[in-house]
Structure 1
Amino acid sequence: MLLSRNRVLVFVLYKKEAARVENMLQRRYSPFICYCFHLPRGWNVVSIHGDKAQQARTAALSLFKKGSCPLMVCCL
């Protein structure tokens, strides 16, 4: 049985940009702050780029494949 899971790949040009976009998307604020200022809670996101160790890249890919992190930022 094939389960439909929505996943998104975001491609960027530079390694530092991949890390910056990942951090920007991950930002999590407290529920109180989100309620008061109408801010989003953040996204479950991983990234793959050359500044990450191979083990970290493999772990990120595994999380993305499993659907635990439906959003991945990749460097071209």
Structure 2
Amino acid sequence: MNDKELYNFTVGELIEILQQYPKGMPVVVSGYENGYENFYHPCVNKVVHNPDSPYYDGEFQIDDEGEEVLLLERVVRFD
């Protein structure tokens, strides 16, 4: 298996994608528990900050009334 089959993005590919967005746009990542995963193609979504939410829910939640951020969402495996 070569790296392209193993990893969704290289640094170069990610840089090209990120250059399409405003330099001041915040970036958030999805996550849960431990370890690391590949991520889907970055996308823009609106979130609100909720620092009082449980750690497993993250401190940001999707909300149409929130601030636009660039989201790096981890690939979810069901195995």
Query: Does the alignment reach a TM-score above 0.5?
Result: no
TM-score, scaled relative to structure 1: 0.30
TM-score, scaled relative to structure 2: 0.29
More strand by percentage: 2
Higher relative contact order (CA 8 A, sep 6+): 1
More helix by percentage: 1
